[in-house]
Structures are given as C-alpha cells and as structure tokens.
Structure 1
Amino acid sequence: MTSVDSWEFYTDSEGKWRWRRIASNGRITGASSQGYANKSDCIENARRNGYQG
C-alpha cells in the first residue's frame, strides 16, 4: 500500500495564496516560502515541488 501526501492551498493573514504538503501521518513535509497574489501562481509553484493535481 502506498501512502499519498495531501496538498493544501490556503490564504495567509495577508490574503496571499500559499501551499503546504502534508504526509499521511499528518506532518507538514513542505510549504511555500512566499505568498502569491494568484492561486494559479501558487499551484504552479507547488507543481515544481511535486504537486501533481
């Protein structure tokens, strides 16, 4: 059985888009280092870091 990380896209306290990668055990294993004005830019950055959605 393969565990699959989940990805969360959210807005921070400044209204910027960010992502985080969460392992099957609930631990955050990656996160965006900056906020993005557009969700599409945030998703593109996540794809460069392994997001396949």
Structure 2
Amino acid sequence: MSQEDKWEFYKDNRGDWRWTRTAVNGRIVGASTQGYSNKSDCVDNARRSGYTG
C-alpha cells in the first residue's frame, strides 16, 4: 500500500459514515466493515488502517 492511495469518506444509504482506500491502479485495497454515526469515529477507524490525513 502506498502513500498515494486515495481515501474516500462518505455516507452510506443508511446515513452512516464509511471509508474506502483505493490504490493508484484503481483497486480497492481497504474499506470500513461497519458504518459510523460520527465522521470522527470513521476517521479514527481509517487511521488504524493506515490513514494519515
């Protein structure tokens, strides 16, 4: 996984926050396994998977 990976934070159909991590080749290399009611909780989860933003 690379520092150039793209991280996306978004609300799902239920209104919960989720994240995905996409490699430069376009493949999804990580995603949240659950939704979060608070974006900050979602970002905290992504940090445990390598998010540095």
Aligned residue pairs, count: 52
**Deviations along 1:16-53, whole A, 9 cap, x unmatched?**
00000000011100000000000000000000000000
Could you tell me how far 1:15 is from its partner in structure 2?
A: 0.2
Letter in 2 for 1:9: F
Q: Does structure 1 residue 38 correspond to structure 2 residue 38? A: yes
Could you tell me how far 1:4 is from its partner in structure 2?
A: 1.0
Larger C-alpha radius of gyration, 1 or 2? 1
Q: Identity over the aligned pairs, expressed in percent?
A: 65
Report the TM-score when normalising by structure 2: 0.93
Report the TM-score when normalising by structure 1: 0.93
**Structure 2, gaps ≥5 residues long:** none
**Structure 1, gaps ≥5 residues long:** none
Measure the CA separation in 1 of the matches of 2:35 and 2:50.
18
CA RMSD of aligned residues (A): 1.3
